[in-house]
Each structure stands twice: as structure tokens, then as C-alpha cells.
Amino acid sequence: MYLNHITEAIGNTPLVKLNKVTDGLAATILAKVEYFNPGNSVKDRMAIKMIEDAEQAGLLKPGGTIIEGTSGNTGMGLALAASAKGYKCIFTLTDKQSPEKINILKAVGADVIVCPTNVAPEDPQSYYSVAKRLNQEIPNSFYPNQYDNLSNTAAHYATTGPEIWQQTEGKVTHFASGVGTGGTICGISKYLKEQNPAIKAIGLDTYGSVFKKYKETGIFDKNEIYPYKTEGIGEDILPKNVDFNLIDLFIKVTDKDGALMTRRLAKEEGLFVGWSCGTAVHGALEYAREHLTQDDVLVVLLPDHGTRYLGKIYNDDWMRAEGYLD
């Protein structure tokens, strides 16, 4: 048996028990390891779904160009799908993204435009604005807009959620994930809560992001927005894929704590994962220490692979320069 294209390898990723970083905890902590997807990230799932839904709706036609603002992983998923289907790709990224992400996107045939991080979303230079402008200027182009495209949530409702339910034999009691576009946590949470309404969904946020305060107060506070280093999670906007009714609570994690836990996962668990994976595990374990018992099963989603961050958190000199290592 063989696959007709690499995109057919998306999904059915393993669930792995964490053993060392969870020392002293009574609950069972399981990691959904998404770097087993062919593009090495969870974003492969929603990328193929957004493209196939756009094709069915007539929004993406043969020979078209896919234009997207991405922190890197969605771009990789879209590029894999584009190679299977014969589309061109143009991606906008912020200048805080790792060089590895930019080089990987170029390697799979995409054009990459790097935009400044520290500008407002509505600024003409922002990676959101540049992607939208190019979509208007380039004929036969499609702007998936992963933030507001509900195919993002639908992909995880259809695949990742059912996988977690089946892999835990319905014993999952808590689910934790970083929140960026919101599609991953909300699609999975929607499916799991339909199976068992008592399951709690925990969103991991960064300092410098608006999600936690908005969930707790209903206030979009621009004073919460400031630069942070962690890639792929947190936002200065409220994407349509973030359904706050499906997320029970948010926990904020510092850049340093996320980075150090990421390195621990590699050294102690053999999981060579990306920065936001450490953020998710750090926050999930913080919650587990205070709230979970031996009867609980917490699944934490690990979005991507460590190769994206070789020049940053897996580089001792960079870590020291940021004050993350002594």
C-alpha cells in the first residue's frame, strides 16, 4: 500500500505519556505529538481543509496563488497541499519568526515576505495587511485567512478531537493547548465536550496577548498587548476561530518558562519539539499540580518540531543573550 501524495499522511499522530517532567503529579499526562504530520506540525490538518473547502466553494481555481499570513507552520501545510494540487504560494511572516521557518518555506517553493512585528494589525506594513493587499492585487489568488476561516476549527473537530477521544478510550478529562488562531483548541474542545460535557479545555496564552483578560472580563484591553518572543500563540486580535465558550480558562506562561520546558521535553522525554510546545506543557503542569487527581487524564497538544527553533531555544548562546540561561 502506498500514498498518492504526502498530504495523505496527515493525521493519526501518536499520543505519548509524559514520564519525567510530570514527576510528583498524580494525574496521567499525555502528549498529542503533532510533529508526526508530514509538515511537522498540527497546521497541516487545517491547511488541507481550508484549501479543499475553498476548491469546493469555487474560491480557489486551477493555477491559482495561495496568499497567507503565517508564523511558519500554516505556510508549510499550505505549501505541501499546493505542491499536490499545482498552486503557487506567497507567505507573509513577522520578523520575529526563526530563520529556519523562512528557509523551510522557501525550500518548498514559496515566496516569503518578512514584515515588522511591532506594528498594529491594521498598519499597512503588518503581515495581516500585506497578505490582504496582495490578495487584492494578484489575479486568481486566494487568501485563506486562518484566523477567521472556520474550516480551521472544522478540521480539528473532524480529525484531532476524534483521535484524542479514541486514543484515550474516552477517559480524557482535560485538554490543554496553546491558543493562536484558536482553531485547534476550539475544534478539539467542541468534539470532546459533545462526547463528555464535563471535559475541561485549558488555553495556554503568552504575556503580551489579549486572550486571558478577554475571557475573564469581556474587555479587549490594548494595554495587554506588548512584544513577546514565543512564536505561534497569543494574539493582538480576536480571531473568529476563538470561541471563548469552548475554552474554560486561560493560563499565561512567560517566554522563558516556555523555552526552558521545551528544552526539558527534548532532554528528558525525547520529544524534540517547538517553543509553544514547552509553553503548553508548562502551563498544563501548573494547572495539574493545583487541580488534578489520580483519576484525571490530561491531554496536552504539542504543535510542532524542534527543527524550527535550532537558532533560538536550542542555541545556548541565544538563550544566554535572552537571559533564559545562567
Enzyme catalytic residues: 43
Distance, CA of 232 to CA of 72 (rounded, Å):
8
Q: Does residue 201 sit in helix, strand or coil?
A: strand
Polymer length of the chain:
326
CA 55 to chain centre: 24
What are residue 66's DSSP bridge partners?
A: 89, 142
CA 207 to chain centre: 17
For residues 267-282, b (16+ Cβ closer than 10 Å) or e, as one string? Answer: eebebbbbbbbbbbbb
Instruction: Identify whether the C-beta of residue 96 lies closer than 8 Å to the C-beta of residue 309.
Output: no
Strand 65-69 to strand 141-142: parallel, antiparallel, or no bridges (unpaired)?
parallel
* Strands lying side by side in the sheet with 200-206: 15-17, 28-33, 297-302, 174-178, 200-206, 249-253
Q: What is the DSSP letter of 180?
A: S
